[in-house]
């Protein structure tokens, strides 16, 4: 009376998956359980680029906050304080590389950051505070926060401790940009949208560029993208943008 | 504030819906794009109880589609991220709809309390299963007599009897008193335990149970490939399709076999929302899944706690309580359409 035939889609998968006890039998290719071997050449090679990106990112952040202080002069002191934190982070991550005996590939990292760097410099020259804040205090910080969160569970014990300390600081930076944009939303909305269109696709391309290296560190591209986007979306929500505006903005990362 | 976490029933349908809601970039995106997309707070809603109380809520689409079920990590992340968003939005009680609670349960996400920087507070979430179980029981009690089925003598099969909702339905039917309970589930051991705890009921294979049952309560997900030979079903037969997705009507439809979408409630007045159209409700302005309604009820009652949580914890007292709240706040279990009911003369014949 009841016949099972291989006739597929959704519900079949559901039934199959419910029986399969996913965590005891992970699907091929998706399972990256456990820690990587931090001592292999392959790991160190990938780490030399990922670590360099982190160092360059922290340096960029330092320079960008100092630069922002020239545009928002009444907050130059606060921005200088944030900038100092970024240099402290850079020191911490340098120690992580030393600990593993890895030399960061800084030339790669500078090239990696060049498009975003150039956009920031151009906005700075034009006195566009909103664009500068979106690039540094929102995009880069959200990117860092989500990447650090995904890195922490798969990091070596030394780096793990340092990254956990850093990630707490980065929230305060994200918060800085968020509060400024929130307070000025009505006058900056249009520029914010444009800056999003110009820069979010760059973040996606950057992610794609490091996907293979990140995978060696047991960080998956889809997780990185998804976490970055939810962090970014939450910030936009706090700034006061509507759900639809946010979805539209986030989508330009996904469809670019 | 209450929250509802839902999702579309297929990728194709999700894209169409994204188009009509004005999310063009999502409508154009491929499945990989949807996998990486974060949850969306799609709609904010105000709901009024006949008691005069008014509450606010939000609908969160997890941007999950059933096509992602095979990607365990993606499915898991979709559920956790949607819950994280609900919590971040300050929602007091959120129902996990559709596959959300199934994934939560089957992938044992209780172990994954920490999502990035957020520690999920389980008190803020409910599976909504207590209300779903109560509604399904109401649907049996209300509609069986209309088909001329005397529940006191009827054989009532529960397919998925050992599940959270299924076992609750069994206990309710036992208290109410039915002719005989027929227990169907995939795994023999929990079935034997259920049979022991009830002290009654007959354990049967699915096709054996279907050949005998006057009422069939489906609370298991049906494989798309499941085929039911309606010729062998007793007549009349009431089938409550309480599984997810609801696809029983296409499989069992036949004269004398009455399929009712289970675990669906209708609100007493229109709700100005768009999202239930996504769930293919017949009357989307009023109808919704009972699990969603549970979050609404808990908010109306200011019961901000995970009322339905874990497996096989649903008590008859909890069902009575949520049932009373359901009636008080203007919900009614979905009934058979008049065309689906036999003429009175026939029914009494």
Q: What is the pLDDT of residue A33?
A: 53
Q: Which of B52, B53, B116 is nearest to B83 (CA)?
A: B116
With an 8 Å Cβ cutoff, are B225 and A233 in contact?
Answer: no
Contact (Cβ atoms closer than 8 angstroms) between residue A47 and residue A61: no
Q: What is the dihedral of CA B211, B215, B217, B218, to 10 degrees?
A: 40
| Pick from A150-154, B83-87, B109-113: least confident | B109-113
Q: State residue A19's pLDDT score.
A: 34
User: What's the CA gap between A228 and A61, in Å, rounded?
Assistant: 17
The band of A32, judged by pLDDT with boundaries at 50, 70 and 90, is very low
Given a cut of 70, whether residue A201 has pLDDT beyond it is yes
Q: Which of A7-16, A59-68, B108-117 has the lowest mean pLDDT?
A: A7-16
Cross-strand bridge partners of residue B125: B94
> Tens digit of pLDDT for each residue in B279-333?
678 888 999 999 999 999 999 999 999 999 988 899 999 999 999 999 999 999 9
| Token pair in block for residue A178 | 């968020």
Arithmetic mean of pLDDT, A206-231: 92
Q: Which of B87, B242, B24, B187 is nearest to A21 (CA)?
A: B187
* pTM given for the model: 0.84
Residue A14: count of CB within 10 angstroms of its CB: 24
Distance CA A226, CA B81 (A): 9
The Cα B54–Cα B47 span in angstroms is 6
**What are the tokens at A135?**
């690039």
Average pLDDT rounded to a whole number, residues A112-116: 96
d(CA A157, CA B223): 45
Taking an 8 Å cut-off on Cβ atoms, the answer to whether A8 and B225 are in contact is: yes
* Å between B40 CA and nearest CA of chain A: 7
Q: How confident is the model at residue B224 (pLDDT cuts 50, 70, 90)?
A: confident
CB contact under 8 A, B225 and A12: yes
Token pair 């320079």: residue: A63
- Is residue B337 classed exposed, middle or buried when 0-12, 13-18 and 19+ CB atoms within 10 A define those classes? exposed
Name the closest residue on chain A to residue B185, using Cα atoms.
A19
Q: Please tell me the predicted confidence (pLDDT) of residue A7.
A: 31
Mutate to test the interface with A, among B36, B39, B204 (most CBs of A within 10 A): B36
Rounded-to-integer distance, Cα B1 and Cα B298, Å: 10
**A40 or B36, which is more confident?**
A40
Lowest-confidence region among A2-11, B185-194, B284-293 = A2-11
Q: How many domains does chain A have?
A: 1
Chain A environment of B41 (Cβ under 8 Å): 237, 243
Q: Report how many Cβ contacts below 8 Å link chain A to chain B.
A: 152
Averaged pLDDT for residues A34-49: 95
Q: Does residue A140 lie in a domain region?
A: yes
pLDDT in tens, A96-110: 999 999 999 999 999
Hey, is the C-beta of A213 within 8 angstroms of any chain B C-beta? Answer: no
Between helix A106-125 and helix A185-216 the angle, nearest 10°, is 170
pLDDT at B297: 98
What confidence score (pLDDT) does residue B343 get?
A: 53
Query: In the 3-class helix/strand/coil scheme, how is B328-341 assigned residue by residue?
Result: HCCEEECCCCHHHC
β-partners of residue A102 are none
Q: How far apart are CA A197 and CA A256, in angstroms?
A: 9
Domain, as residue range, for A104: 39-254
Q: What is the pLDDT of residue A1?
A: 32
Q: How large a percentage of chain A has pLDDT more than 90? A: 69
B117 and A244 in contact by Cβ < 8 A? no
The values of phi and psi at residue B118, to 5°, are: -105, 135
Given this model, what pLDDT does residue A172 score?
A: 83
A156 located within any domain: yes
Residues of A in Cβ contact (< 8 Å) with B221: 11, 14-15, 18
Residue B209, pLDDT score: 96
Question: Between B74, B77, B106, which is nearest A18 by CB?
Answer: B106
Residue B22 has pLDDT above 90, yes or no: no
Cβ(A245)–Cβ(B40) below 8 Å: no
CB–CB of B223 and A15 under 8 A? yes
Q: What is the rounded CA–CA span in Å between residue B341 and residue B343? A: 7
Q: Residue A76: pLDDT above 50?
A: yes
Percent of chain B at pLDDT > 70 equals 95
Q: pLDDT band for B341, please (50, 70, 90 cuts).
A: low
Weakest-pLDDT range from A18-32, B257-271, B272-286 = A18-32
Which 67-126 residues of chain A touch chain B by CB within 8 A? none
> Is residue A155 a part of any domain in this protein?
yes
Residue A36: what are its φ and ψ, rounded to 5°?
-75, 165
- Looking at the predicted structure, is the pLDDT value of residue A62 above 70? yes
Hunting for tokens 């960061």 — which residue is that?
A104
Q: Least CB-CB distance to A229: which of B26, B36, B232?
A: B36
Is residue A25 situated within a structural domain?
no
CA atoms within 13 A on the CB side of B111: 7
Alpha-helix runs per DSSP H in chain B:
11-20, 24-28, 31-36, 72-88, 99-106, 129-146, 164-176, 188-198, 206-212, 249-252, 275-278, 290-300, 316-328, 344-348
Rounded to whole angstroms, the Cα distance separating B311 from B114 reads 21
Average pLDDT score over chain A: 85
State the Cα–Cα distance between residues A198 and B119, nearest whole angstrom. 34
Is the distance from CB of A110 to CB of A57 less than 8 angstroms? no
End-to-end CA distance of chain B: 50
Mean pLDDT, residues B130-153 = 97
CA B28 to chain centre: 30
- Decide if A233 touches B, using CB distance below 8 A: yes
**pLDDT, average across residues B224-228:** 80
CATH code for position A66: 1.20.1260.10
DSSP conformation class of A136: I
Q: Considering chain A, what percentage of its residues have pLDDT values greater than 70?
A: 86
Q: Is residue A24 part of a domain?
A: no
pLDDT at B344 > cutoff 90? no
Q: Pick from A9, A14, A23: which is nearest to B108 by CB?
A: A23
Determine the 3-state secondary structure of B240 from DSSP: strand
Residue A28 inside a domain? The answer is no
Inter-chain CB proximity B23 and A248 less than 8 Å: yes
Give residue-wise pLDDT tens across range B92-104. 999 998 889 888 8
Residue range B33-42: mean pLDDT, rounded: 88
Cβ atoms B49, B300 nearer than 8 A: yes
What is the distance in angstroms between the Cα of B190 and the nearest Cα belonging to chain A? 14
Distances (CA, A) of B236 to B191, B230, B259: 27, 11, 11
Percent of chain B with pLDDT over 90: 67
Tell me the pLDDT band of B28, cut-offs 50, 70 and 90: confident
Helix (H, G, I), strand (E, B) or coil at B270: coil
Task: Give the pLDDT confidence of B118-129 residue by residue, as tens digits.
Answer: 789 999 999 999
Show the tokens assigned to A93.
């991550």
- Whole-angstrom Cα distance, residue B233 to residue B338? 22
pLDDT at B229 over 90: no
Quick one: pLDDT at residue B223? 72
Please report whether residue A13 resides in a domain. Answer: no
Which domains, from first to last, does chain B contain?
1-126+265-333 (no CATH), 132-263+335-348 (3.40.50.720)
SS3 assignment, position A54: helix
Q: Is the peptide bond before B245 cis (omega within 30 degrees of 0)?
A: yes
pLDDT at B279: 65
Q: What is the pLDDT of residue A18?
A: 36
């Amino acid at each position: 009376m009841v016949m099972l035939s291989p006739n597929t889609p959704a519900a079949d998968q559901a039934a199959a998956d419910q029986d399969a006890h996913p965590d005891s039998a992970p699907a091929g290719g998706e399972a990256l359980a456990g820690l990587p071997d931090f001592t292999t050449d392959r790991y160190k090679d990938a780490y030399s680029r990922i670590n360099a990106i982190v160092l360059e990112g922290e340096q960029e952040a330092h320079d960008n906050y100092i630069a922002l202080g020239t545009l928002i002069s009444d907050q130059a002191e606060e921005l200088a304080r944030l900038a100092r934190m970024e240099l402290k982070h850079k020191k911490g991550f340098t120690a992580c590389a030393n600990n593993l005996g890895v030399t960061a590939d800084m030339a790669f990292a500078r090239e990696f950051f060049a498009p975003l760097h150039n956009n920031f410099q151009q906005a700075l020259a034009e006195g566009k505070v909103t664009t500068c804040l979106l690039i540094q205090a929102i995009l880069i910080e959200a990117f860092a926060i989500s990447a650090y969160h995904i890195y922490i569970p798969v990091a070596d014990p030394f780096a793990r401790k340092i990254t956990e300390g850093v990630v707490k600081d980065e929230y305060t930076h994200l918060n800085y940009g968020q509060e400024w944009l929130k307070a000025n939303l009505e006058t900056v909305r249009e520029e914010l949208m444009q800056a999003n269109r110009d820069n979010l696709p760059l973040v996606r391309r950057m992610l794609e560029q490091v996907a293979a290296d990140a995978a060696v560190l047991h960080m998956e591209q889809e997780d990185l993208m998804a976490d970055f986007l939810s962090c970014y979306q939450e910030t936009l929500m706090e700034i006061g943008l509507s759900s639809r505006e946010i979805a539209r903005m986030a989508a330009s990362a996904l469809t670019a | 504030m209450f929250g509802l976490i839902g999702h579309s029933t297929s990728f194709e349908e999700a894209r169409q819906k994204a188009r009509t809601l004005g999310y063009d970039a999502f409508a154009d995106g491929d499945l990989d794009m949807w996998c990486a997309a974060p949850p969306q707070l799609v709609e904010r809603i105000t709901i009024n109880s006949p008691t005069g109380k008014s509450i606010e809520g939000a609908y969160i689409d997890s941007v999950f589609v059933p096509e992602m079920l095979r990607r365990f990590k993606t499915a898991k992340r979709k559920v956790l991220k949607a819950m994280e968003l609900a919590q971040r939005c300050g929602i007091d009680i959120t129902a996990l709809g559709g596959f959300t609670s199934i994934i939560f349960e089957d992938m044992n996400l209780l172990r994954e309390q920490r999502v990035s920087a957020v520690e999920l507070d389980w008190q803020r979430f409910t599976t909504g299963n207590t209300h779903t179980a109560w509604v399904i029981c109401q649907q049996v009690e209300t509609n069986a007599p209309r088909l001329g089925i005397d529940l006191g003598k009827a054989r009532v099969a529960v397919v998925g009897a050992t599940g959270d909702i299924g076992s609750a339905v069994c206990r309710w039917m036992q208290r109410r008193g039915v002719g005989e309970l027929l227990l169907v589930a995939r795994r023999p051991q929990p079935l034997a335990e259920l049979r022991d705890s009830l002290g009654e009921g007959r354990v049967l294979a699915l096709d054996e149970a279907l050949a005998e049952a006057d009422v069939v309560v489906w609370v298991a997900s049906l494989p798309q490939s499941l085929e039911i030979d309606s010729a062998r079903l007793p007549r009349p037969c009431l089938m409550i399709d309480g599984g997810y997705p609801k696809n029983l009507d296409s499989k069992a439809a036949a004269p004398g076999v009455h399929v009712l979408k289970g675990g669906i409630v209708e609100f007493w007045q229109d709700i100005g929302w768009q999202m239930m159209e996504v769930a293919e409700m017949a009357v989307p302005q009023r109808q919704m899944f009972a699990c969603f309604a549970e979050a609404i009820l808990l908010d109306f009652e200011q019961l901000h706690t995970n009322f339905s949580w874990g497996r096989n914890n649903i008590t008859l007292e909890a069902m009575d309580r949520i049932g009373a709240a359901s009636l008080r706040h203007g919900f009614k279990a979905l009934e058979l359409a008049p065309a689906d009911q036999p003429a009175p003369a026939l029914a009494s014949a």
